[in-house]
Amino acid sequence: MSIGVDGQGLQKIYAENHDVGAISRAKNSDRLVLVTAARSPLKTEFTIVEPDGARTQHVVIPDGYSSGKEFDEATPPLISDDRTKIATLAASRTLPTELYSVEPTVKRLTTSQLPEFEKIKWAKYQEVTFPGPDHTTLHGVLIYREGLDLSKKHPAFLSNIYADSAKLAWGGWVENYAAQNLDMVVLCVDFRASWGYGGDFDSGYYRKMGLIDADEAVCAHNYLASLSFVRPDRIGIWGWSYGGYLTCMTLLTKPGVFDTGVAVAPVTDWKSYNEWYTRRRLGLAKDDPKIFEKTSPITYAAGLKDNLLLVHGILDDNVLFQDTARLIQRLIDNGKYFDEMTYPRDDHSISKETSRPHVFATILRYLNNHLNRKS
């Protein structure tokens, strides 16, 4: 919106049926640089709005993120003070983050990977949509090996479940490894609270955490099960932090839907978590203790029927290890059997030199051993 110096004449500058992930301008300039999701909620591009209203769109990576990717938004570009140059970090699912020029010309400026990187064989990454709960449409990325025998049925899993986890930015090697080396079908989904879908979807798990998005996980499962080349009884799910929480909520409140789950560093009781985060999503426990009980995996521990691996760093100072310990005890009290892996020297990121490869190998070994088991 624009407004006159007298406070009058409010006018729309940019109003389209897609989200704006970031906005910036050069020093002493009314030229606006927007990071938009006009082509797809999984991609970004730059939309330049001139003072006279003229627009120019720059796509740095056609099948990726033309901007940097933040936790729940996009990163604005770098703009020179004289307004003649714009640069950005950009990436895709098959290309780690590099530096690019946007103006005066779109051009890659850095090559950070070793020559061996070019030898990697990449799976097929396909944008998909499918029906979600409450009349929504869910967006995701389906990943499978080029040349996979589609006349046969293969195990599948939802990977790294979280808001914005389907965005076409660099996401590491786990999904590609599972597709290329294990012949598994992988689905990444933009769950509730992802940006790119409007405000109602972005804030759509208010007082519904672990409930509405567990319904979305079931919708994602049903989509995978509908594919002719996916084995419907061998579908798994895994996530980290909130994704670990959502994995627990999904397995415990929707028993029998997924075959196997891995929950890394899961919140199991929101009363134990940071109030600044929780109060904006659930309110305060003193005002409505029932919603905290309703959104806690501990409440539903008796529902476990599927294979579950719990993973946690004992030195975690974000989601405390006590959350996993409490769920473990409740599962034991209910006579439930599960698996556990702890990292004695690691915090929430489980990122020490020996721990990082170990934890991802542990996740994939567990999923592969159960979903690819002979029966």
Read off the pLDDT of residues 301-326 as tens digits, 9 standing for 90 and up: 999 999 999 999 999 999 999 999 99
**Catalytic choice (66, 159, 241, 355):** 241
Sign of CA dihedral 130, 126, 205, 219: positive
What's the first-to-final CA gap in the chain, in angstroms?
Answer: 61
For residue 214, the model assigns a pLDDT of 98
- Decide if 333 contacts 270 (C-beta within 8 A): no
Is residue 2's pLDDT more than 80? no
The DSSP bridge partners found for residue 36 are 20, 45
121-371 fold: Rossmann fold (3.40.50)
Is residue 29's pLDDT more than 90? no
CB atoms within 10 A of CB 311: 23
Mean pLDDT of 269-286: 95
165 as an active site residue: the answer is no
Percentage of the chain beyond pLDDT 70 is 100
Task: Give the tens place of pLDDT for each residue, 112-129.
Answer: 999 999 999 999 999 999
Token pair of 169 as six digits: 């930015």
DSSP structure class, residue 159: -
- Decide if 161 contacts 217 (C-beta within 8 A): yes
Confidence of residue 71 (pLDDT cuts 50, 70, 90): confident
Task: Give the tens place of pLDDT for each residue, 348-357.
Answer: 999 999 999 9
DSSP string, 213-231: HHHHHHHHHHHHHHSTTEE
Task: Give the tens place of pLDDT for each residue, 214-262.
Answer: 999 999 999 999 999 999 999 999 999 999 999 999 999 999 999 999 9
Is residue 1's pLDDT more than 80? no
Confidence of residue 37 (pLDDT cuts 50, 70, 90): very high
Q: Taking the domains of the chain in order of start, what are their residue ranges?
A: 20-108, 121-371
SS3 23: strand
Name all contacts of 223-228 with Cβ < 8 Å and 24+ positions apart. Answer: 223/128, 223/130, 223/138, 223/140, 223/187, 224/156, 224/158, 224/185, 224/187, 227/156, 227/185, 228/150, 228/153
Instruction: Identify which of 134, 132, 58, 63 has the alpha carbon closest to the alpha carbon of residue 100.
Output: 58
**Catalytic choice (139, 312, 348, 370):** 348
DSSP structure class, residue 14: -
DSSP structure class, residue 115: G
Angle between the N-to-C axes of helices 242-253 and 212-226, in degrees from 0 to 180, rounded to the nearest 10: 70
Half-sphere exposure of 232 (CA within 13 A, CB side): 9
- Note if the pTM is more than 0.75: yes
Mean pLDDT of 58-65: 96
For residue 245, the model assigns a pLDDT of 98
- Decide if 278 contacts 306 (C-beta within 8 A): no
Please, what is the average pLDDT of the chain? Answer: 95
The letter for the amino acid at 265 is A
Token pair of 320 as six digits: 């405390």
DSSP string, 31-99: -EEEEE-SS-TT-BEEEEE-TTS-EEEE-SSTTSBSSEE-SSSEE--EE-TTSS-EEEEEEETTEEEEE
Token pair of 190 as six digits: 């933009």
Mean pLDDT of 34-44: 97
355 as an active site residue: the answer is no
Task: Give the tens place of pLDDT for each residue, 167-217.
Answer: 999 988 899 999 999 999 999 999 999 999 999 999 988 999 999 999 999
For residue 186, the model assigns a pLDDT of 98
Mean pLDDT of 139-158: 98
For residue 332, the model assigns a pLDDT of 98
Question: Rounded CA gap, 267 and 246, in Å?
Answer: 9
